[in-house]
Each structure stands twice: as structure tokens, then as C-alpha cells.
Amino acid sequence: MHAAEQERPDVAAARAAWKEAQPGLDPARLVFIDETGTSTAMARLRGRARRGHRVVGRVPWGHWKTMTFLAALRHDAITAPFVIDRAMTGAIFREYLRQCLVPTLAPGDIVVMDNLPAHKNAAVRQIIEAAGAELRYLPPYSPDLNRSCPRWWCRSAGSLQGLQRV
């Protein structure tokens, strides 16, 4: 299922332009940034048990925690991994760029990220461009164009949800 907004003329045009430009990009220069998060509030609501047995699970009561994992995916490696025990904010993201991502960038790299509000401010562009790299945002409503998700982000998010088995 895709977002209905992908059919808006402005979004459709941005998606078409992105797809048209892709063949001209050097895969060795692409650096996809993405994050995934989990929360202790992601408790399973249903479960399976043998006939006659009750499913019992445990979740923290009133002590919810959120954890965010952020990394860069290149064509041949995962780089600049970062885990923080809270939700992503603009200030945390800028520090991630300075301390984790920038040391891994080379002049000419193309950093690609989604439109999360924490990613969209002038300081983000300045930090990346000061390292000699280029910043490109994915078109809005286009997670399917982020090459990092289909492989391991989605699997890791699914694995986190399935950690507790009865």
C-alpha cells in the first residue's frame, strides 16, 4: 500500500524527477541515512498458546522507554551507527552528523535522507556540505525510494517487535 499523496501532481513530479536522476548517480557515492525506533509501548496485543494454556506476556507499566537506532547505508557497508535512548530530535540529529556521519564522508558523497522534521533545517545542509558531500532529500511520501528500508531496516523493526515469544 502506498500513500495516496503520491498521486498529487507536485509529489508525482518530484518522484518522477528522482527516478529520472537515479541512473546518473554513482552507487559508491550514495549514503542513505535512516532511523528506526522502538518503544516498550510496542507490546503485543495478541498471542498464541497451546490449547488450554493462557498466553502471558510482560510489559513495563507506566515506565515507557523509546530507543532510536540511526545509521548510514552505503552500497557495501553500514556506517556511522548510533543508538540513543530517546526519540530523535533536531539537536540530536545534528550531533549525530557532526560526531558519527561526517568522519565517514568523503568529498563527492551524496547523502540521501527522508523528510523527517529533525532532518530539515539549514544546519543539517551546512554540516554535510562542509564535509564536501551533497545533501539530497527524498521526495515527500516516498519511503519506497529509500534503498535502505527494504533490506535490513524493515527486518530489524520486525525483529524488535517479535522478540518476546511465548
pLDDT tens for residues 93-102? Answer: 999 999 999 9
Average pLDDT over residues 134-155: 71
Closest CA to 111 of 77, 79, 137: 137
Q: Supply the pTM of this predicted model.
A: 0.77
The answer, yes or no, to whether residue 152 has pLDDT greater than 60, is: no
**In terms of residues, how long is the chain?**
166
* Distance from C-alpha of 6 to C-alpha of 124, rounded to nearest angstrom: 26
